[in-house]
Structure 1
Amino acid sequence: MKCFHFTSGERREDEDVVVSKVSRVSWARSFSVASSSLDARRSDLDSDSNCYSSRDLSESVGFFDLLSQRRTNDLRVFSFSELKSATRGFNRGLLIGEGGFGCVYRGVVKVPDDHDSDSKMDVAIKQLNRHGFQGHKEWINEVNFLGVVKHPNLVKLVGYCAEDDERGIQRLLVYELMRNKSLEDHLLAKVLPVPLPWMTRLKVAQDAARGLAYLHEEMDFQLIFRDFKASNVLLDEDFNAKLSDFGLARLGPPEGLGHVSTSVVGTVGYAAPEYVHTGRLTAKSDVWSFGVVMYELITGRRAVERNLPRGEQKLLEWVKPFVSDSKKFHLILDPRLEGQYCIKSAQKLSALANKCIAKQPKSRPKMSEVVEMLGNIIDEISSQDEDTPEPASEIEEAKEEATGETEAESNKQGNNNWKKVFDIREMVNLRNRSIGKLDWRNWTPGLVRTS
């Protein structure tokens, strides 16, 4: 990934053009902050290729105007004093995230309610740095896109604040509070001692896939998320997953075109290789990123981890030899799961991840297909959990019969205290065949004491 360099939020020279274009959009209706996660680093292609196409420059304002016409009146306009009070003066004790463009605080705001005029809501409040235009384009994206898209697996934008005073331009966004932080916090951070259970990981993956499928396939225009990673998947109190940070989201190609030519932005380790090398963006770029995160769910490792030995730093390269050998596959599973997983479902999740990171974008599945395949994996585990053993009375009867036969055999052969018992499960199966019951599976004969 040598073509990337971290910008840490610094404005590039070609972004001046973007700012001059988008500044025509009213400050009062469109602002966006950059990442709220602890890892809010942005990456740009360090080359002299055509970074911004005419679609980026000339059509962005017109498209945002279209979105503003379609936007519902759900977004609230907050005053700066109201949000300052909600965060106790932006108290550092309420800080829940910090990125290259600003900070995120926990707060409480009053929201209109039909039953209670003083109803309060816990929220997350992003505050962009007051000086300069850093993050301005991302801020605009957030309000315009999240002001239109509505889905259970996309974080909800409650409102925004835009005020101009002697201290600078105050630009803030107010989101629903996701109490369980990000997938990265649970999966990759060292501070949380309790790992995500295997089934929870699968359901989080399915929720995130539903969010991407909505953006790609279920609206009358397509959005490409462009920065899908574990830190941008937030979890509510019930561990339902929602996509956050639409600062880099991009309008998909128009009908008849296969891709959008745009600047290469994102996070090292998650960006699809064809996008990195050519700047050609498609929805299949998000599918690649999703495949990377699925391997993070399986292994508990980051896409790129510089603190590991050289051969293990890049996740996708490290897993290759293990994935191809079923006897070694268990070695890549997150050790924090402590064996509490279904190995077959993990292998199927790995196979799905491999489809998502296929070299040719056309070979990758659509996100709606990924949702369906994840659902099949989850349903298979659930059905196995629901399988109940045969009634206890039948088991006891089978044991008695088996014990009787074993004792008789033991008497014939002398004082042999330990005998291998006739397979109890097979005995039950023989009886069940005669009465039409389901055979038991996966039974291993055991040893019992016969005297």
Structure 2
Amino acid sequence: MTGGEKHGEVRPSPSPPSPPPIFSLHCLFFLLVLSNTIVAINAQSNSGTKVSFTPADNFLIDCGGPKSTQLADGRTFRSDPQSTSFLYTTEDIKLSAGTTSSSIAPFYLTARVFSDKSTYSFSISEPGRHWIRLHFYPFSNPKYNLSTAVFSVNTDDILLLREFSVPNSITPVVKEYLITFKNERVSLAFIPKKGSFAFINAIELVSAPDGFIADTASNVQPAGEFSGLSSYALEVSYRLNVGGPTIKPEEDTMGREWKPDTGFLEFEVAAQNVSAALRTIKYPEDGSVTPLTAPALVYSTAEKMAESNTVDQNFNITWQMTASHAYSYLIRLHFCDIVSKSLNELYFNVYLNGLMGVASLDLSSLTSNLATAYYKDFVINATTIINDTISIQVGPATGSESGSPNAILNGLEVMKMSNSAGSLDGPYAVDGSYHGGYATKSTVTKVASAIGLALGVMALILLGMMFCRWRRRPVGWEKKNSFSSWLLPLHVSQSSFLSSCSKGSYRHRFGSNKSKSGYSSFFASGALGVGRIFTFAELQHATHNFDEKAVVGVGGFGKVYLGELEDGTKLAVKRGNPSSEQGINEFQTEIQMLSKLRHRHLVSLIGCCDENSEMILVYEYMSNGPLRDHLYGSTGLPPLSWKQRLEVCIGAARGLHYLHTGAAQGIIHRDVKTTNILLDENLIAKVADFGLSKAAPSLEQTHVSTAVKGSFGYLDPEYFRRQQLTEKSDVYSFGVVLFEVLCARPAINPALPREQVNLAEWAMQWHRKGQLEKIIDPHLVGTISPASLKKYVEATEKCLAEYGVDRPSMGDVLWNLEYALQLQEASMGQPNDDPSDNSARHILPETTLVPIQEHRGLTTIDEDSAPEVNAMPLIEGR
């Protein structure tokens, strides 16, 4: 028996004498510390001597195992029977895989199964943060199919897993947590779903070092200090050894596994692996970072900025990870300057989800030595997580004169923080109570509520003034401010605009995220030209009191309802969720943009509601929804013909061209995609969603420097690398849209083989082979004029040029699309262009698609065969 392991016992729960009992197992492990032995976990110190960490509590259990299991790192997992003085059971709950494998730990070859709620009870000697690691491996067994088990796991007050299951996998699944325990008795309950069962292969409950997670961290938004971390339970989502290989648990002081960052690194060509000898890694003398924080193996490798032949190396290295927008996250970044030859050479910025985490991080001033370990903790509020993604970026500091621009990262840890329900897996608490959503505990939210209450009287006064003003409206006001021909269509996708219809929709009225200071006059005065101000009662009536059956779109932070006025006019009513804080900036941008833009192919806001602290915007209902719904066939809509697709693309190009050139100052959309191109009942295309839009650079500027935002698959790689936004970024995104229209598949599809995931790259590969026809939408095969396709693909290829300077303007793209449409019409003799109508196919027998040759010139065509066309595109505006 090794030290640090403790005895316990397993007892069945009491059963009534009659009727026959429903058997359940309550595994109660009452574990006592052995005074004559300890387990020492060794780590390497600066001097090369061994330092040790002796956890006060060290419970290692091989669940279902017949005997102790010793691992390569010297740790011993004790079996259940060895830890009990007696064992009552009503069924054979000890499983064996029947085979051995050297690739996994021995304790994965056995498991304990529970048919009813069962509880492990631990007696801990020192309250504080503890690691909990739950090991699951659904091996094959003749009696139980472990992959079908559905169950929940919780401690006394933290829900760890709810209705959890482990699909068949060749690798084990480890769920890892850091939880602060305040009592000397800790319970870990396994609760099968009705009709199912629970299982576990191994359990670790080990004390974490004092101060391992500080109580404070840097808050990203709002900027400042986040305090109270000790009150949150944490789940390890990612732990990456940046620039290095896998670090196995036996190689880490704390038994942690560090995975390589290769699967999370975006644009791998922007990063370069570097490494240093382990003996050169130092830890600060003040003890702020120790081998317990992270092993020297983490600090001895890194990713730095790749060397580039271009003069401008102003780009970022980026890591992307999936996360839930329902939680806040603790981010720990590890740094160690192993790239500089002397001090004060390395200055760089750190960005989290596009927001500045640290400006001009100077490791020299923080560590006073090269190759010295350093880390920094950040909290990313749930409201800053867009598209369920966490983005970490490092890049050169602006204006740095320290030499060649560079930036590094050595290690990355991402930990989910428990929500207000005390849960790490949904809105339900341990007692089963529902907490109305996934809202995380937020100090900011609490402060906002307090300030809002304090300023409530002021808000009521201002609302009263607004009501009086509304009552004094002149006769005919409503009719005068009714719908116009360019009203905003419904955007049903979960885009930034839809998500922005949240608490920020009336930021001007509330004043800030923390108050309700009343800015009713902002809308009532028509300062932004938002049109009609609806009463809340009107919109209640139009949507049947916001009936769930009237919901036609749901975003992360609001719903869209189909409403109908008494005169039969249909509305799209977008009602924001007042409890959400995300999308505030996007919402304001949307309002400001829509109040200034008027164009047949751009959306326009028609009204809002400014009552009862509601955040409601009203648009004209667009019956044909987003372009994407007409491409993939999954919605049951008939596929668009080639002519219809060209007309839609032309409409969208006109809208974007107007944005870039028609406004007083050009506007860059920054989120061009098929869900932001909407169609009315006549399939007229309009560009929607201006929540991410930016004013274009002035004549004296070449670009706008800004954090990267947009949608993956459509994002301009040059903008991604350099954070320099231009109109050509929209052109690149539109090029992806053009391929999406032609091939009828998403811009990004992770389910496909690696070479097919990115549509733009995949389509260009086939185009270079001269075989693009092999991936064209089957509905279009045989209906496209070769000349029209040739012109269309030339424009698309040029849009996707690697550098913005090589891309055409939207005016040039529009010209080529109109040319492609006229080539199609001329070659087909203007027949019915419905794909189901074969009358178009016999007119031009040679329309069977032929390989497309590579063309570099945007306007290259076969002049001998091309009909005469009007080369001047029509730019419509108001």
Tell me, yes or no, if the aligned pair for 1:208 and 1:243 is still in contact at 8 Å.
yes
Question: Which one of the candidate residues 469, 492, 515 is aligned to 1:37?
Answer: 492
Structure 2 residue 715 is matched with structure 1 residue 304: no
For residues 637 and 780 of structure 2, what CA distance do their matches in structure 1 show? 11
Query: Which whole-Å deviations, capped at 9, do the CAs of 1:184-240 have from their partners, x for residues lacking one?
Result: 111135122511111111110000000000110011111111100000100001100
Using the TM superposition, name which of 317-326 and 152-161 deviates more.
Answer: 317-326
Equivalent residue number for residue 12 of structure 1: 384
Residue matched to 2:573: 125
Q: Which residue of 2 aligns with 1:94?
A: 550
Alignment of 1:365-384 (within 5 A): 365-384=808-827
Deviations 1:251-277 (A, max 9, x none): 112230111111211111111011111
What per-residue deviation string (whole Å, max 9, x for no partner) do you get for residues 137-168 of structure 1?
2221222111110000012211112334xxxx
CA distance in 1, matches of 2:688, 2:673: 10
Flag the 1:247–1:170 CA change in 2: closer, same or farther, 3 A: same
2:512 alignment counterpart:
none
Q: For residues 361-391 of structure 1, what are the alpha-carbon distances to aligned partners after superposition, in whole Å with 9 as ceiling and x for unaligned? A: 0111111111111111111112223389xxx
The code of the aligned residue for 1:177 comes to Y
Q: Structure 1's 251 and 139: CA in aligned 2 closer, same or farther, altered over 3 A? A: same
User: Counting strand residues as a fraction of each chain, which structure ranks higher?
Assistant: 2
Which of 736, 754, 758 in structure 2 is aligned with 1:314? 758
The correspondence for 1:174, drawn from 612, 618, 625, is 618
CA positional deviation for 1:338: 4.6
> Is 2:570–2:621's contact at 8 Å kept on the other side of the alignment?
yes
1:5 CA displacement: 5.0
Distance change >3 Å, CA 98–CA 370, structure 1 → 2: same
| Alpha-carbon distance, 1:73 to partner | 4.6
2:705 aligns to what?
261
Q: 60, 71, 75: which one pairs with 2:531? A: 75
Q: Identify if the C-alpha distance between structure 1 residues 290 and 86 changes in structure 2 by more than 3 Å, giving closer, same or farther.
A: same
Which structure is larger by alpha-carbon Rg, 1 or 2? Answer: 2
**2: CA distance, partners of 1:292 / 1:153:** 19
Q: Give the letter for the 1:324 counterpart.
A: R
Q: Is the 8 A contact 1:147 1:157 kept in 2?
A: yes
1:200 aligns with 2:644: yes
Q: Among residues 242, 247, 252, which one is paired with 2:691 in the alignment?
A: 247
Q: How many residues align?
A: 340
Give runs of aligned pairs for residues 125-274 of structure 1, distance below 5 A: 125-164=573-612, 169-274=613-718
Q: CA deviation at 1:124?
A: 1.1
Q: Which has the higher contact order (CA 8 A, sep 6+)?
A: 1
Match of 2:85 in 1: none
Question: What 5-or-longer segments of structure 1 have no aligned partner?
Answer: 21-25, 29-34, 43-65, 111-118, 389-440, 442-451
Instruction: Name the CA distance, whole Å, in 1 between partners of 2:675 and 2:759.
Output: 16
Distance 1:183 1:387 in 2: 24
Q: After superposition, what is the alpha-carbon deviation per residue over 1:248-305, rounded to whole angstroms, capped at 9, x for unaligned? A: 1111122301111112111111110111112111111100000000000110111101
Among 264, 288, 291, the alignment partner of 2:735 is 291
Question: Where does structure 1 differ by over 4 angstroms across 4 or more consecutive aligned residues?
Answer: 4-9, 66-74
Change (3 A) 1:237 1:306: same
Matched residues in 2 for 1:98 and 1:36: separation? 10
What secondary structure is seen at the aligned counterpart in 2 of 1:157? coil
Please list the CA deviations of residues 85-143 of structure 1 after superposition, one character each: whole Å capped at 9, or x if unmatched.
Answer: 21112222222211122111211236xxxxxxxx4421211111111322222221222
Q: What secondary structure is seen at the aligned counterpart in 2 of 1:132?
A: coil
Q: What's the counterpart of residue 282 of structure 1?
A: 726
SS in 1 for 2:701: coil
**What code does the residue aligned with 2:730 have?**
D
CA contact (8 A) 1:204 1:240 kept: yes
| CA distance in 1: counterparts of 2:524 and 2:705, whole angstroms | 25
Structure 2: how far apart are the matches of 1:135 and 1:82? 26
Residue type matched to 1:343 in 2? P
Partner of 1:173, secondary structure, is strand
Q: 3-state SS of the aligned residue for 1:242?
A: strand
The verdict on how the C-alpha distance between 1:145 and 1:73 changes in structure 2, with shifts beyond 3 A counting, is: closer
Provide the rounded CA distance (Å) in 2 between the counterparts of 1:159 and 1:7.
35
SS class of match (1:175): strand
Is the 2:799–2:807 Cα contact (8 Å) retained in structure 1? yes
Q: What letter corresponds to residue 560 of structure 2 in structure 1?
A: V
Moved more, 253-262 or 234-243: 253-262
RMSD: 3.2
Q: Structure 2 counterpart of 1:154, which letter?
A: L
**Residues 561 and 573 in structure 2, CA contact (< 8 A), matched pair in contact too:** yes
- Structure 1 pair 6–249 and aligned structure 2 pair: CA distance change class (3 A): farther
Closer/same/farther in 2, CA of residues 192 and 222 from structure 1, 3 Å limit: same
**Cα contact 1:224–1:249 (8 A) shared by 2:** yes
- The TM-score normalised by the length of structure 2 is 0.36
CA contact (8 A) 1:138 1:248 kept: yes
d(CA) in 2 for partners of 1:158, 1:193: 28
What TM-score do the two structures reach when normalised by structure 1? 0.69
Tell me, yes or no, if structure 1 residue 347 matches structure 2 residue 790. Answer: yes
SS of aligned partner of 2:714: coil
Contact 1:179–1:237 (8 Å) recurs in 2: yes
SS in 2 for 1:82: helix
Instruction: Out of 336-345 and 270-279, give the one that drifted further.
Output: 336-345
Q: Which residue of 1 aligns with 2:777?
A: 334
Tell me, in whole angstroms, the C-alpha distance in 1 between the residues paired with 2:825 and 2:782. Answer: 18
Q: Is the 8 A contact 1:8 1:41 kept in 2?
A: no
Give the corresponding residue for 2:559: 103
Task: Name the % identity.
Answer: 35
- The amino acid across from 1:11 in the alignment is T
Letter in 2 for 1:37: V
- 1:43-73 per-position Cα deviation (integer Å, ceiling 9, x unaligned): xxxxxxxxxxxxxxxxxxxxxxx99999675
1:11 match: secondary structure? helix
Name the counterpart of 2:140. Answer: none
Aligned-residue offset at 1:173: 1.0
Q: CA deviation at 1:333?
A: 0.7
Shift of 1:325: 3.1
CA distance in 1, matches of 2:523, 2:608: 16
- Give the SS at the match of 1:324: helix
Whichever residue aligns with residue 203 of structure 1, its letter is E
- The C-alpha deviation readout for 1:331-367, integer Å capped at 9, x for no partner, is 0110133533223322321111111111110111111
Does structure 2 retain, via aligned residues, the 8 Å contact 1:76–1:159? yes
